[in-house]
Amino acid sequence: MKILLTGANGMLAADIQRQMPYGIELSATDVDELDITNFAALDRFCSQCAPNAILNCAGYTAVDKAESDRTAAFAVNETGPANLACVCAVRGIPLVHISTDFVFNGDGSHLLAEDDTPEPRGVYAESKRAGELAIEHAGGSWLIVRTSWLFGLRGRNFPGTIMRLALERDTLTVVNDQTGSPTYTRDLAGAVWELIARRAAGYVHFCNQGVCSWFDFAREIVRQAQARELLPRDRTINILPVTSQHYRSPAPRPAYSAMSVARCAALTGRQPRRWQDALGDYLDECLKAAR
């Protein structure tokens, strides 16, 4: 099976490539090789590459910058997926697309299922939902995997930021009124490959098991990092809870966006592991890289 991977230089795509199953031929591209917002270029590339499926990991993810850069956000998050979906529909091949918990308004308190009604707030969220709808309306076969609070070895992420700041400061302030589920890109990549193998279609939610606030997440990062001596054990690092108003970010964030993984578990026959365990594996990988 030959798969065209877009957004290959990103954090999730790095683990997608590391966990590629036997028998898959992967054509990995990023914007320098293939601009998915250019339909003609994409169509030519697919004619030459002749993939059996496309896996789209490309995305505009600068949540706050999107508020003043609407055109760029919609180009990558709506026009790009629309182009990919059209190319796939014409060729009769499936599109696998990565989306986000941001498509929900975050006003509830229950685990969000695939059939809950999206209500995006902010330009980034609106652009991601627009991309989902463009894929739905293209008329081809598609799988959209929504995820949340990603962390991984490549690129900037919350655990890496917390550890860096903890080395610089004795006191950190972290938001305690946003609740969700952290997701290790290695676990998400494995789930994506399983879903592809099982020819899953429609919407599927994947995140690691468990619900926490960013404040809870930060405390666990520091605890586990100190246990592994990624942070000094003999230092007291104070983590103080604050509200979202403390930072006044340009873009709104969902207050509650934890998602149900029941459909993914039913499709794959496997429950995701707890986010605390996934975090431990991530930190072990960080420790190996530091040696």
* Cα distance between residue 181 and residue 80, in whole Å: 27
Residue 124 annotated to the active site: yes
The pair of structure tokens assigned to 38 is 């250019």
What's the rounded Cα separation, in Å, for the pair 24 and 266? 24
Determine contact, residues 253/106, Cβ cutoff 8 Å: yes
* Rounded distance between C-alpha atoms, residue 187 and residue 170, angstroms: 32
The CA–CA distances, whole Å, from 63 to 22, 34, 60 equal 35, 23, 8
Q: Which of 124, 184, 256, 282 is catalytic?
A: 124
* DSSP single-letter state for residue 21: P
Locus of tokens 């700041």: 165
Length of the chain equals 291
Catalytic residue ranges: 124
